[in-house]
Structure 1
């Protein structure tokens, strides 16, 4: 057997070549051979490079921003507050703001802190110091805001507040006495005005209108306690007050206002008349207005303005009658609220004319007059109070409620026993002045107070409520017989006051005047002899 080369095929025969000889052979004698490919060359494997282990990414530490020595109260002329600011990549800027006004910040090294933050922080200039010049800011509460920016773009901020206390401004006044009748055609008013940061100017108002600027910078005597005030030796002021600038048959106010270099205002007033006015009675108090304002500011129940704690300057403003008594509406905060039968020649029917459309109060003129005469309370105050508290005679309390529960402590829900009053003994009760209507559940506790007092009709609620108001305020031993004295009780060292809102008396004054004006209009212009009581404080010397 051997291998032959097949040249071509035809049917069952193939032409072949074998050892140089060509011939034909039957296909049955041929066996096809499968060609064997030569083995593929062995390629050595490409070596895999060693995998390098990645260094672990360090987790960034949180940014640090601390105010280290912020105090609640400052009295210094220059305040310094220190802090620290750190970031994983370092800090770009540190900025500080007081009430939105930027103040200086100085950054520096803090080597004593480096061991504490050696892992994960850049320690360059991690300390900062804030400087606040208090001459640029008034006394009171201020907001400090510190903002830092890290080099990686991250930001952090912190807010805090502090109280800046400054020495009380000092203003004296000579030439006129509050409550006096001014008879001279002109008078020289003079004194001294001192502010711890210096005085920008002294100006004066007559009946609420800016009238002029006083001469300021005159030589003035200086007491030991005044030496700390800036420019104390030239704190004198003076201006001329002309009688022709005041109003006849009216109370006049002359307000002197000091404008401090820090932009703050401080003022005091004198009240003057051009003729005797028997319907205005002065009540002299033994201390200065500023004394009572300071006591008011320290009450356990803080005085409020716009639902926030009031500043000392705001308390002084509302205590000063000169800011209100010249105003034809606001002066009603000094209207006398005590009443004796016959003070006003009025009838219950005439009072009904201002009660039309007032819900359950309509037609109750006789009840209001009875409450006034029996318990000594101004009828127009009673009507004004009732209209306000009942929503013009439509409140739940005024329309009556049935009381079924009992309690052991008034106002304490935990002491209530439900449905303890037998059904046969339950009565409808009324409350028109909101007495006992605690905010926690006004209708519930207001009804219980009415039940305890026995106010079983609207009339009984009007007359009985007048008794409560008389006993607790108007004819109390301290005689809180004006809206002003209901709000500011100097006789009891600023305790037992009707409201915390400094503006309460001013707001109520308009309500009473509205009722009196309506009475006059609806009773053919019938005049009323109104009486007023206003305070005079000890003059600052």
Structure 2
């Protein structure tokens, strides 16, 4: 019955004869300060494909009326209160209801945005006083830009058919792919569950696609040639006119024809991680329509993840290795993660920004790779390759640092000729061709001088960079570019198999896991044909 502040207690003694005597004393009452705590989620915790549990405790000198939960400034609901917390009552005695001061609230990660999200807890007392606490969680950030090629999609497909694109889809071994299957595998739109921002008109950078392109003094062939630029070189766009682009050139500027450049769009953020389904059966038929009455066109396997293109009667339409078909939802589960086919657009060049100490955390327990964080960082920095991609590549090729080739092979002869004996290492399986992988991989490492794990990590990264990711002529830094080379279709393609890029994506989930643990954004390059 006491109120905060000054209170007066009066004692009055009344005799049998009616006389009375009273005495008063004044004293001050201080109400305990409101307190709140968020126990979960932890600050900067990564969230992916999971509900978010918010729990903690709240105390108020007048008792807690309600606990409100907000995400990014939007109230999403009120937490369940009155949960048992004797530990809190022991630590902060004197609060009403202190032994039942716990709260809990669960929400779907679908309301989170890419990047950091702020969760605010607002504990409101019965007297109207408010106490806030906040934390933040990280939703894996997906960044992308579009690259706009002058080549039409139809013309690019024509080139692949002329080059005799191959497939093993028809059940007869390797044979020439049909046009419809080349188109299905090659069309970027088949793998996207969002519509990229069309910022072609506002692109600020271009890349040269011709082997050599004249630079002219003005926007047209009537203007004089002042020099030339080479394939894969990039330039800032200063202006444009009638299909020509003005670029910085030789301390001045010049103009190049838009028919021989690719325009690089600005960095955008994907709206959210795409909705997808994951296969839960060991093998699941993909049918031409949404029921078992339709024919089987291919199959998918346990753990594979696909974007949902459409739904009908409990069936999901997906792109299964380039074939559009339907799978029964009975044998899938809804997930919120990157569909595997999107990895073919993941940019493999450039540093991820991860620290050497965090690299060593990821390398812990990985056999001979443990403690090599500085070597991987140098390999990425010196060769302009994503360090996390190098880790994933090395984990795959070495069996997490346990393979014989990774742990060192004693070489006494190369190409059948005796050499000075030396132990060599090969962390990426370079040169280790099927049939005689150990000998060929170790002899290749000997020729390169990879006589320490560090030399193998750094030298192997240079080979990967020089061949494709940062090739001086072609710069193919995504799996899609390695296979289809949209800048100059048909040239310098890694494989003839129309399914090659998709097949490689099955080994890249590890990159996402590492990025999630270290709050590192993934970057994608989405091709767009004219």
Q: Taking CA–CA contacts closer than 8 Å with sequence separation of 6 or more, which of the two structures ends up with the larger relative contact order?
A: 2
Smaller-chain TM-score range? 0.3 to 0.5
Considering fraction of residues, name the structure with more strand: 2
TM-score (norm 2): 0.43
For the pair shown, the structure with the greater C-alpha radius of gyration is: 1
